[in-house]
Amino acid sequence: MHILLLILQLQFSQLPPPAADEKPQPAEVPQIEVVTPQPTPARPGLLARNPTVSTVGAYAFIPALATLLGMQMWEWGDTTHFKAGSDGWFQRHNTHGGADKMGHAWSFYMGSRLFTTYFDAVHPDDHRKAAFFGAGLSWFGSVAVEIGDGFASVYGFSYTDLIANTVGVALALAQELWPGVDDLFDFSTHVLYSPGFMSPANPNKFDFATDYSGQLITLHLRLGGLGLARSNPLRYLRLDLGYFARCYEVNDGCSKESLGTDAYETRSLYVGVSFDLARMIRDHGEANSWLQYFGTFSRYYNFNGFFPMGLNVDLNHGNAVNFGMSTDSQIR
C-alpha cells in the first residue's frame, strides 16, 4: 500500500500545476477622433472683391459729381477765361470775413473721414491704405472744386481755399493714422440757418454749406485724451476754439449791401466748453446701440452750439466780448 501511494504521489507531482485564474482583459475601445468644424470665412463684400474698380470708380465719380453740382449751384462754366489768385484769409474786409476758409477746412475734413469709411470696405484688412485713399480722394475733390471755381466769373481758383482744404484733409488723415490724435481732437460745425439764407432773395436753399452767417466751426480739445483727465469727470469735457462771421453775406439784412454800411459786420473768435457726448456714450451706452452712432455724429456736428457755453471776442469792434452767436440778433 505504501509503495502504491508513493507511485501515485510521484506520478501526480510530474503533472503541470493548475493554471491560475486569469482575469478577463477589458476590450480595447477604439479611439474616435473628434474634428471640430472650422467656421467658413466670411465672403468679402462686393467692394473688397473688386478693389481696383471700386477705387478707380470713386476717384472718377466724386470729381464728376462735384463738377455737376458746381455747374448747377456755383455758376461754373459761365466763362471760358480761367482766373486764379488769393482771396485772402481772415481780414476784416475779406469776402465772407474768412468764414469760408473754416467752412472749406471742415467740408474736406469731413469728406476725408467719410471716404476713409468707404475705403475701409474696399480694403477691410488695411486701414492705413484706406486712410490714404480716403484723404487722397477728398483732396483731389477739393482741387476739382477750385478748378471749377476758376471758370466761374464770380469766384476764381483760390490758393487760400486750397490751403484750407489741405489743412482739413491733413487733420482727418492724422486722426485716422494715429488713434491718440483722434482721441484728442474733434472738428465740428454748427449750422443754424441765417435769416438771409432763408430769405426769398436766396434761390438756392440746398447749398447750406455756404450759409456762412449761420455757421460756427470749432476745433475741440478733448480732455479725455489727456493723461491727467482720463480717470476723472473732466474726461467728458472739451475746450473749444471756434470762429464765425456775421452780416457778410449779400442777403443778410445787416449786410453792407442791405444797409449801405459795414458797421454790423462781425468776425468773432469763440472760446468755450462743451460736453464730449461721444465719450459719454462710449463709456456708458450699449456697444451696439444707435446711441453710438449719435455719439460719433456729435464729433462732427456740434450740438452744443444750440446752447453755447462760452464767449465771443468781436474782432471787428475792439475785441468786445459778448455771448451767443449773433445769428438771432441780425437786423431782418
pLDDT at 228: 74
Q: How many helices (H) and strands (E) does the chain have?
A: 11, 8
Residues 6+ apart with CB under 8 A from 173: 112, 131, 132, 135
Rounded-to-integer distance, Cα 6 and Cα 223, Å: 112
Pairing between β-strand 185-191 and β-strand 215-222 as defined by DSSP bridges: antiparallel
Residue type present at position 210: T
> Can you give the pTM of this predicted structure?
0.83
| Each residue's pLDDT tens digit, 83-113 | 888 888 888 888 889 999 999 999 999 999 9
pLDDT at 56: 93
pLDDT at 4: 42
pLDDT at 31: 67
Per the CB < 8 A criterion, the answer to whether 276 and 236 are in contact is: yes
pLDDT at 118: 96
Q: Which residues of the chain have pLDDT under 70?
A: 1-38, 40-41, 324-332
Listed by start position, the domains of the chain span 49-177, 184-332
**DSSP E strands: which ranges in 211-265?**
215-222, 237-246
pLDDT at 174: 98
Chain centroid offset of residue 261 CA: 40
